[in-house]
Chains A and B, each alone.
Chain A
Amino acid sequence: MALVVREAMLGFRRAPVLSALSITTIAFALFVVSLVGLVALNLRTALETVEERVEVVMYLRRGTPLDVITVAIGDIEHFPEVQSVHHVTEEDALMRARTELTEFSGVFEDLETNPLPASLEVSVRPGFRDEEHVRNVADRLSGFRFAEDVRFGQDWIAKLDRLRDIASAVGALIGLAFVAASVIIIGTTIRMTVLHRSHEISIMRLVGATDSFIRRPFLLEGAIKGALGGGLAVALCYGAFLVVSRLLLEGEFFGPLQMSFIVLFGTSLGLVSSAVSVSRHIKGV
């Protein structure tokens, strides 16, 4: 093992410029991929904020007894899609209208009877906030005898659905394209380092080195380069994130798990590229 580490380190010492170039290339390739990931992450967070507002409102018939409403709330809370149920009484509705719709304050001041109905505001759990699930909840709510009307803003939920689909598709497509590009770039970079040491590989073969003995230091070297490139990509991404946060808009950065994933992804790419390049090269020696 010590020999493998020594040989891998020698690889860095022998070609410091090429090694630095490889790490930088890997870093920039992963930086672009990470940026796409960061945009996707922030887009998802933004969508989640909007999605939190998805709710179904069931307007109640006038005169529905409170105990009936209480039982119904218990039932509705047991729907798998439902996160919470909030009872808005007729008085609550009027008070809310007075505070929120200040421009119509005059209309609500001199009322003899309260025209606003009581309602149940049903918020939907994450994962069920698409049109199909929300409509399903709305249909079941309509089945209650005391339901006057059920609304859930189907237009904007449908638009939200479409936006989510488009964002996912575009994100996946761009992400995949950049991942593919980075795989090619990293593969080529590692191949250059292997070719740079082809003379050494042929000498190793001549003095009786096995294929696995020749391969091991290259694999370790590739993995180290990939890990360093991944780490540098995270650092570059954080720099870009800071600049954008200060100058344009506040956002969210990767968590430790996502950062580890980028480094791990770089390490795996370095490892696999080295394995492919060395194996291909050894066959010809």
Chain B
Amino acid sequence: MIKFNKVFMAYGKGTLALRDVSFHISKGEFAFLTGHSGAGKSTVLRLIYAQDLPTEGEVRVSGFRTAKLSRREVPKLRRRLGIVFQNFQLLEDRTAEENVAFALEVTGARRGVIAPKVTRVLTQVGLAAKARSYPTELSGGEQQRVAIARALVNDPFVLLADEPTGNLDERATRGVFQLLRDINANGTAVMMATHDLDIVRQTSFRTIELQQGAIVFDSATDDTGEGEA
């Protein structure tokens, strides 16, 4: 489903952000990407949603080889992914439901389809009652739920979450993380970049640890079997 094969990624004047990264994420899997700031977690996610292209090696996402994607094909790939960021990336002058509906509108979905889908995902993230609220009227946790709802509305096969709890307090963090687990339990793969090891330790999900752009630990291939999902 997502496959990195000997991926190198260099920014600017040859600064290596990823070195020889290889892994495979299966359908419905939950995987953490851990590591310090600058370890390359976000770069991995950016390569998956084709924001960046590998300098060397191959990234395959649901049959797409990202290096071979034309500019026209990138939206097709992104509509099959759900992406969530630390800073929510919501449009502040649109209500929660408008933010979610927007992700469907860009795909050309008909009005009759949009409304029930938006209601369904907002209910799923527990925000049906705040559908008409603007982001500034919502707490950080609620804003992240709206962002997750937006990411889910196109029924993605994988949800990419880049430090989704980074801006949240402990209680909101627990809520958002539980939501991601529920989403995964319903069959959607989740790849979550985080440096919050407390969350990672709570579960036995697969963990891929990056250090200076290289994978230094992958619980799926770890000989000791520690942390195996």
Contact = CB atoms under 8 A, between A and B. Distances in A.
A277 B89 CA distance: 23
A208 B89 contact: no
A207 B103 contact: yes
A204 B49 CA distance: 13
Nearest to A202: B89
Nearest to B80: A208
Contacts of B206: none
Q: Which of B76, B90, B105 has the most CB of A within 10 A?
A: B105
A210 B75 contact: yes
Interface residues of A, number: 15
Contact of A208 (B71, B75, B90, B91): B75
Interface in B54-81: 71-72, 75-76, 78-79
Nearest to A6: B105
B78 A211 contact: no
Interface in A199-221: 200, 202-211, 213
A207 B91 contact: no
Contact of B91 (A3, A203, A205): A203
B78 A208 contact: yes
B154 to A, nearest CB: 7
B71 to A, nearest CB: 7
Nearest to A13: B93
A255 B215 CA distance: 73
Given A206-B49, A206-B83, A211 B71 contact: yes
A203 B75 contact: no
Contacts of A202: 89
Interface residues of B, number: 20
Contacts of B49: 206
A207 B150 contact: yes
A208 B105 contact: no
A145 interface: no
A208 B76 contact: yes
A14 interface: yes
Contacts of B197: none
B88 to A, nearest CB: 10
Nearest to B72: A210
A209 B74 CA distance: 9
Interface in B157-190: none
A97 B79 CA distance: 91
Nearest to A211: B71
Majority DSSP secondary structure for residues of A touching B: helix
B106 A213 contact: yes
Interface in A131-157: none
Given A208-B107, A209-B75, A210-B75, A203 B89 contact: yes
Interface in B78-110: 78-79, 83, 89-91, 93, 102-103, 105-108
A200 to B, nearest CB: 6
Contacts of B150: 207
Nearest to B154: A208
Q: Which of B49, B72, B89 has the most CB of A within 10 A?
A: B89
Interface string A242-258: 00000000000000000
A68 to B, nearest CB: 81
A229 B95 CA distance: 32
A143 B117 CA distance: 92
A206 B107 CA distance: 12
Given A14-B93, A203-B89, A3 B105 contact: yes
Given A209-B75, A210-B72, A211-B71, A204 B106 contact: yes
Contact of B102 (A207, A210, A211): A207
Contacts of B108: 213
A13 to B, nearest CB: 8
A275 B108 CA distance: 21
Given A3-B105, A213-B106, A207 B78 contact: yes
Given A3-B105, A213-B106, A208 B79 contact: yes
Given A211-B71, A213-B106, A206 B89 contact: yes
Interface string A209-242: 1110100000000000000000000000000000
Given A208-B79, A213-B108, 14 more contacts: A200-B91, A203-B89, A203-B91, A204-B102, A204-B106, A206-B78, A206-B89, A207-B102, A207-B106, A208-B76, A208-B78, A209-B106, A210-B106, A211-B71
Interface of B: 49, 71-72, 75-76, 78-79, 83, 89-91, 93, 102-103, 105-108, 150, 154
12 contacts: A14-B93, A203-B89, A203-B91, A205-B75, A206-B89, A207-B79, A207-B102, A207-B154, A208-B76, A208-B79, A208-B103, A208-B107
Q: Which 5 pairs, one residue from A and one from B, show the smallest C-beta to C-beta distance? A: A208-B79, A209-B106, A208-B78, A207-B103, A208-B75
